[in-house]
Amino acid sequence: MASAVFILDLKGKVLISRNYRGDVNLAAVDRFMPILQELEEDGQTPTPVLSDKGVHYLYIRHNNVYLLALTRKNSNATSILLYLHKLAQVYTEYFKTLEEESIRDNFVLTYELLDEMMDFGFPQITETKILKEYITQEGFKLERTPVRPPNAVTNAVSWRSEGIRYRKNEVFLDVIESVNLMVSATGNVLRSEILGAVKMKCYLSGMPELRLGLNDKVLFESSGRATGKGKAIEMEDVKFHQCVKPLIWCEAMVEMHNNSRIEYMIKAKAQFKRRSTANNVQISIPVPDDADSPKFKTSIGTVTYVPEKSCCIWKIKQFQGAREFYMRAHFGLPSVRDEEPEIKRPPINVQFEIPYFTVSGIQVRYLKVVEKSGYQALPWVRYITRNGDYQLRMPDSNTSTSGGGSSVRMAPI
194 with 287, same domain: the answer is yes
65 with 182, same domain: the answer is no
124 with 259, same domain: the answer is no
What was the pLDDT predicted at 342? 56
Share of the chain above pLDDT 70, in %: 81
pLDDT in tens, 162-177: 788 898 999 999 999 9
Burial class (CB in 10 A: 0-12, 13-18, 19+), 315: middle
Query: Residue 375, Cβ neighbours under 10 Å: how many?
Result: 13
Residue 129 in any domain: the answer is yes
Q: Does the pTM of the predicted model rise above 0.85? A: no
What was the pLDDT predicted at 284? 96
Q: Which contacts qualify for 274-277: CB closer than 8 Å, 24 or more apart?
A: 274/320, 274/321, 274/322, 274/323, 275/321, 276/320, 276/321, 276/354, 276/356, 276/357, 277/318, 277/319, 277/320, 277/321, 277/354, 277/355
191 with 144, same domain: the answer is no
- Contact criterion met (CB below 8 Å) for 50 and 145: no
DSSP of 151-185, one letter per residue? SGGGT--SS--S----SS-EEEEEEEEEEEEEE-T
- Contact criterion met (CB below 8 Å) for 135 and 108: no
Distance CA 253, CA 407 (A): 9
142 with 173, same domain: the answer is no
Distance CA 7, CA 111 (A): 11
The answer, yes or no, to whether residue 184 has pLDDT greater than 70, is yes
205 with 322, same domain: the answer is yes
Residue 160 in any domain: the answer is no
Residue 173 in any domain: the answer is yes
178 with 70, same domain: the answer is no
pLDDT in tens, 4-28: 999 999 888 999 999 998 888 889 9
Residue 87 in any domain: the answer is yes
DSSP of 191-218, one letter per residue? EEEEEEEEEEEEE--SS-EEEEEE-BHH
Residue 159 in any domain: the answer is no
pLDDT in tens, 236-271: 554 444 445 889 999 999 888 877 889 999 999 999
Q: Which residues contact 306 (CB under 8 A, 6 or more apart)?
A: 312, 313
pLDDT top residue among 410 and 385: 385
pLDDT in tens, 43-77: 788 899 999 888 999 999 999 999 999 998 888 99
Residue 158 in any domain: the answer is no
Residue 263 in any domain: the answer is yes
Instruction: Look at the chain and report how many structural domains it folds into.
Output: 2
Write out the residue range of the structural domain in which residue 408 sits.
Answer: 166-334+343-413
pLDDT in tens, 298-318: 999 999 999 999 999 999 999
Tell me what the mean pLDDT of segment 142-161 comes to. 53
226 with 144, same domain: the answer is no
189 with 325, same domain: the answer is yes
Residue 396 in any domain: the answer is yes
> Is 296 in a helix, a strand, or coil?
strand
Share of the chain above pLDDT 90, in %: 39
54 with 113, same domain: the answer is yes
143 with 175, same domain: the answer is no
Query: Residue 370, Cβ neighbours under 10 Å: how many?
Result: 10
Burial class (CB in 10 A: 0-12, 13-18, 19+), 281: buried
- Contact criterion met (CB below 8 Å) for 199 and 193: no
Distance CA 400, CA 299 (A): 20
